[in-house]
């Protein structure tokens, strides 16, 4: 019998339990000599956890089993294979037994070629899983204990402003100044995105060499670690590390953040109200920036003239896309009049109206497809129940489950399409209603009504020198 030997060890186990790769391999090879089995290949995973099957040695073993290159798999101990009950049973039942490959564990004296061995494997997998969960629990308890004692947990990314040495956080002088600068800028009225942009433009870097972003700045402003606190599992404890920010500065930042959030919610709850017709939907096609309205006094006409100009040519720093943008400025009344005439022409075009009307034809109700998906899921559940109750082997239902899952995926795609069509139908109804009143609105000279008409029908207007491009909402 040709045997594949599998050995795995983590750094901790190698140091404390004596499960080194070489020790396991030697013992397993001697066992094969006694049994007069030939060793095909030794599959090793040094330093890999048993909680996942994503290990190079394990993946090669699975591939060789499927290629029927070996007749049996031998391990030193059951938990070398996996510490997960689910993964252990998957390997034994769906990989090894499926391809008529025996599984033998030296330490537990298990052999799946016998009925007793197969039954014992299931029981031992339960205890292996229990052991892993107990280890995880002990680690969590240890981290809670560290937090209560005022120590940083030490895992993950070390926060900006500190270095981690000998189990403790130590304030970094250079980065502490950056943290204070961020708080000072925020309290002076700067926004989170503007602070990040400023730091990047000034090439102010931290030890992690990450690009400053909205997320990074916000995390710094919200982290009470900077006033000497330790947070773990939604509980806060007094830390042993030195604070970087004063309590007063930190809590003022929290108050300002809450105030800005409340204001943002109020603004977002209000419908968009632009002062001018194309505000919010008009863009520069040269650099991609928004267009805004400019008022300038004409000495020739002795009155103010309103124009649309590119934000890149303004002094609003955060709106500039390209300071070298050379797009033109456009007479506001002429541009708006042109857009309204395009809308009027469109509303009187039979081909356009027919196309929109065609898109709102009756569609199949998604309810029937949802019912089919539910039936398919119930079929899969019934097959899995039979398998779990021992009434049928997984090999016998595997192909049918694959077919049902493929059918379910197909039905879900069909459902998405139907729901999208239903949404488009509703949108088409609204567009046709707006177009039916377009001429009256345009001729009414009601500027607010014309603004609403324009925003209902147009998604985007782009301007590039003498070219005006309109992207419609349908």
Of 140, 32, 27, nearest to 80 (Cα)?
27
What is the C-alpha to C-alpha distance for residues 80 and 19, in angstroms, rounded to an integer?
Answer: 9
Name the β-bridge partners of 38: 2
pLDDT at residue number 423: 45
Task: Tell me whether residue 246 is one of the annotated catalytic residues.
Answer: no
Name the pairing type of β-strands 38-46 and 72-75.
unpaired
Phi, psi of 284 (to 5 degrees): -80, 125
Highest mean pLDDT among 218-227, 345-354, 362-371: 218-227
Phi, psi of 94 (to 5 degrees): -100, -10
pLDDT at residue number 361: 47
Q: Which residue has the higher pLDDT, 358 or 125?
A: 358
Query: For the segment 440-465, what is each residue's pLDDT rounded down to a tens digit?
Result: 888 887 888 899 899 989 999 999 99
Q: Enter the pTM of the model.
A: 0.37
Query: For the segment 72-103, what is each residue's pLDDT rounded down to a tens digit?
Result: 999 998 888 887 777 887 888 789 988 999 99
To the question of domain 2-140 being in CATH 3.40.50.1390, the answer is: yes
Name the pairing type of β-strands 303-310 and 291-298.
antiparallel
Q: Which residue has the higher pLDDT, 60 or 148?
A: 60
Name the β-bridge partners of 42: 5
Res. 107 pLDDT band, cuts 50 70 90: confident
Q: Domain residues of the chain, as ranges?
A: 2-140, 162-269, 282-356+441-472
Q: What is the CATH number of domain 162-269?
A: 3.90.1750.20
Query: For the segment 154-187, what is each residue's pLDDT rounded down to a tens digit?
Result: 656 788 888 888 778 889 888 999 999 999 998 9
Of 79, 74, 65, 78, nearest to 29 (Cα)?
74
Res. 344: pLDDT tops 60: yes
Residue 73: count other Cβ atoms within 10 Å of its Cβ: 26
Q: Which residues, at least 6 apart from 10, have a Cβ–Cβ distance to it below 8 Å? A: 47, 48, 49, 50
């Amino acid at each position: 019998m040709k045997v594949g030997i599998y050995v795995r060890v983590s750094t901790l186990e190698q140091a404390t339990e004596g499960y080194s790769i070489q020790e396991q391999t030697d013992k397993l090879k001697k066992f094969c000599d006694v049994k007069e089995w030939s060793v095909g290949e030794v599959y090793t995973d040094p330093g890999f956890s048993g909680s996942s099957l994503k290990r190079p040695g394990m993946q090669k073993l699975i591939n060789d089993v499927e290629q029927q290159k070996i007749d049996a798999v031998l391990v030193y101990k059951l938990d070398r294979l996996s510490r997960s009950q689910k993964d252990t049973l998957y390997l034994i039942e769906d990989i090894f037994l499926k391809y008529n490959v025996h599984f033998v564990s030296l330490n537990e004296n298990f052999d799946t070629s016998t009925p007793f061995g197969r039954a014992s494997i299931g029981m031992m997998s339960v205890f292996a899983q229990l052991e892993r969960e107990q280890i995880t629990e002990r680690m969590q308890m240890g981290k809670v204990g560290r937090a209560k004692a005022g120590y940083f947990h030490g895992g993950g990314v070390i926060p900006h402003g500190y270095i981690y040495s000998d189990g403790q956080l130590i304030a970094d002088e250079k980065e502490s100044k950056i943290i204070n600068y961020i708080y000072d800028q925020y309290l002076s009225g700067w926004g989170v995105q503007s602070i990040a942009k400023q730091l990047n433009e000034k090439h102010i870097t931290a030890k992690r060499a990450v690009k400053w972003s909205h997320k990074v700045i916000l995390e710094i402003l919200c982290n009470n670690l900077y006033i000497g606190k330790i947070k773990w599992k939604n509980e806060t404890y007094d830390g042993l590390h030195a604070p970087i920010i004063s309590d007063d500065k930190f809590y003022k930042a929290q108050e300002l953040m809450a105030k800005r959030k409340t204001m943002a919610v109020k603004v977002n709850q209000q419908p968009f109200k632009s002062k001018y017709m194309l505000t919010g939907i008009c863009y520069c096609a040269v650099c991609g920036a928004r267009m805004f309205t400019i008022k300038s006094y004409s000495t020739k006409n002795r009155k103010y003239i309103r124009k649309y100009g590119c934000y890149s040519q303004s002094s609003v720093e955060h709106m500039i896309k390209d300071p070298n943008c050379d797009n033109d400025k456009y007479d506001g009344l002429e541009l708006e009049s042109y857009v309204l005439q395009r809308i009027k022409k469109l509303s009187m075009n039979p081909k356009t109206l027919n196309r929109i009307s065609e898109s709102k034809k009756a569609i199949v109700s998604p309810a029937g497809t949802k019912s089919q998906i539910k039936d398919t899921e119930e079929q899969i559940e019934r097959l899995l129940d039979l398998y779990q109750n021992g009434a049928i082997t997984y090999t016998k239902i595997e192909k049918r489950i694959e077919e049902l899952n493929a059918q379910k995926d197909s039905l879900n795609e069909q459902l998405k399409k139907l729901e999208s069509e239903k949404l488009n139908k509703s949108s088409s109804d609204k567009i046709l209603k707006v177009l039916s009143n377009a001429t009256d609105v345009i001729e009414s000279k009601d500027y607010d009504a014309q603004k609403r008409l324009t925003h209902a029908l147009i998604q985007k207007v782009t301007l590039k020198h003498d070219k005006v491009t309109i992207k419609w909402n349908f």
